């Protein structure tokens, strides 16, 4: 609705610019001066920008509502970590980030959708890399462990500035973002993926440490 308002208003303005003296008359080419042409062009630019914004919004909203059903398989967590680190290796190195991983016990296995779980971890690691921009020491820890029961925990920890306390309850809300170019749906999608696994995604943060925990 916020996008439709400016579009509708701009269309009415353009119609007024092109309206002739009569109620249903349209100005002729000879009646169009440079100012009218420029105002019309700017108005069309506004319509284009808002239309593109609406298309982008709908595409992002669809990604929230059309998540695939998990394809559950059993796999070693170490193999998942290996694939993720290899995939993000160039991003991590060029950002000057030191990344470590640990799986306890080493043979720990997970029954989940490997691709969807990987998507969650990629999103969390990318967020961590962005959070570390401008820091002298940049560390990310990817860790998996179990307490001997059925639950498996995976944590992504960074030593960034932390998430302000007032934002902790908001980071999983669709379209909420503090980034200039962020879409605000990555964490929301990640939490939905975990819910489809009957699991949870939680965050704890303080200055110098942010920990996202996946519980399967």
Query: What is the per-residue pLDDT for 177?
Result: 72
Query: What is the per-residue pLDDT for 181?
Result: 61
Query: What is the per-residue pLDDT for 151?
Result: 94
* pTM of this structure: 0.72
Q: What is the mean pLDDT of each run of 10 residues along the chain (216 residues)?
A: 78 89 84 92 88 77 77 95 89 92 95 93 92 93 90 96 88 73 76 94 94 97
Query: What is the per-residue pLDDT for 76?
Result: 96
Q: Give Rg (Cα) of the chain.
A: 25
Residues facing residue 215 across a β-bridge:
153, 200
Q: What is the CATH number of domain 73-215?
A: 3.30.565.10
* Count of other CB atoms within 10 angstroms of residue 128: 25
Query: What is the per-residue pLDDT for 193?
Result: 92
Structure tokens at 24: 């249903």
List the domain boundaries for the chain. Answer: 4-65, 73-215
Question: Angle formed by the axes of helices 34-65 and 186-196, to 10°?
Answer: 20
């Amino acid at each position: 609705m916020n996008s439709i308002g400016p579009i509708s208003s701009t269309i009415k303005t353009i119609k007024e610019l092109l309206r002739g003296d009569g109620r249903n008359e349209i100005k002729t080419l000879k009646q169009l001066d440079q100012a009218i042409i420029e105002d019309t062009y700017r108005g069309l630019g506004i319509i284009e920008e808002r239309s593109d914004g609406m298309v982008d919004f709908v595409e992002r909203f669809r990604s929230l509502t059309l998540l695939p059903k998990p394809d559950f398989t059993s796999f070693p967590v170490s193999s998942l970590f290996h694939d993720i680190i290899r995939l993000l290796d160039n991003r991590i190195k060029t950002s000057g980030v030191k990344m470590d991983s640990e799986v306890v016990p080493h043979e720990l296995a997970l029954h989940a959708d490997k691709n969807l779980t990987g998507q969650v971890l990629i999103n969390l690691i990318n967020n961590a890399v962005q959070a570390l921009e401008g820091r002298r020491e940049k560390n990310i820890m990817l860790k998996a462990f179990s307490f001997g029961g059925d639950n498996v925990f995976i944590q992504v920890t960074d030593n960034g500035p932390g998430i302000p306390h007032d934002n902790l309850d908001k980071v999983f809300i669709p379209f909420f973002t503090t980034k200039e170019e962020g879409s605000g749906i990555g964490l929301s999608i990640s939490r939905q993926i975990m819910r489809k696994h009957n699991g949870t995604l939680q965050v704890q943060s303080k200055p110098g440490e942010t920990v996202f925990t996946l519980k399967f």
